[in-house]
Amino acid sequence: MRKLYKGAIISIGIIATILFLFYPIATYYTAIIHERIAISDKTGNQVSFYLNDKYIGTWHNNMTYVGDDAINDRLFNSSWTGSFWNYIAIGTGDGSATNKSRTALVTEIDRQLATFYKPADAQWGLNYTFTFASSYTIKEAGILNANAGGTLAFYVWNLNISVTNVDTLKISWQGTTNGY
């Protein structure tokens, strides 16, 4: 019995060695590298307003949920077919505390192609000066990636800027992109 047991162990050992040497062994590893990239939705992003070239205030910029998703697609998805975010729109609609869920301005009155500028490393900006044919109270502004429709990436909703047909309203939208 002992010889049979010893023979079985030797046979299993030989078979295991042969399988180890001749059986293809493949090991797959998934490496997850966490590198945080942020288009800052904190104090680094702000929107400054100038009425008739006079500074009237700075508001906090809010990135929308759809904007966050679309920008990530633009950065990392090679099949992205969308456009760049370079249109500033203004409106008279009342936003709300759910502004991050917004996909469009509430009541858009004008949208224009803005001028891009780069004030420093990891910073970006868009400028546009609006002129008016009527009087309005501008209550909202946003950055979109098309001259009509498109994706609303950034939104400011708590404005209260009165303009008339002789006024100009310059919007300077500034942001910071960083890794942290």
Is residue 157 assigned to a domain? Answer: yes
pLDDT for residue 8 is more than 70:
no
Please give the residue range of the domain that contains residue 138. Answer: 46-179
Is residue 123 assigned to a domain? Answer: yes
CA–CA distance from 112 to each of 6, 12, 40, 139 (Å)? 86, 77, 24, 17
Position 28 confidence tier, pLDDT thresholds 50, 70, 90: low
Q: Please write the tens of the pLDDT for every residue from 54-113.
A: 998 888 778 888 877 777 776 676 666 667 788 999 999 987 656 777 888 999 999 999
Is residue 28 assigned to a domain? Answer: no
For residue 164, the model assigns a pLDDT of 94
The mean pLDDT of 137-162, rounded to a whole number, is 90
Is residue 155 assigned to a domain? Answer: yes
Question: What is the value of pTM for the model shown?
Answer: 0.71
pLDDT above 90: percentage of residues in the chain: 30
Is residue 109 assigned to a domain? Answer: yes
Residues 6+ apart with CB under 8 A from 143: 67, 85, 86, 87, 88, 89, 114, 126, 152, 153, 154, 155, 173
Is residue 9 assigned to a domain? Answer: no
Number of domains the chain is built from: 1
What is the C-alpha separation between 35 and 72, in angstroms, rounded?
13
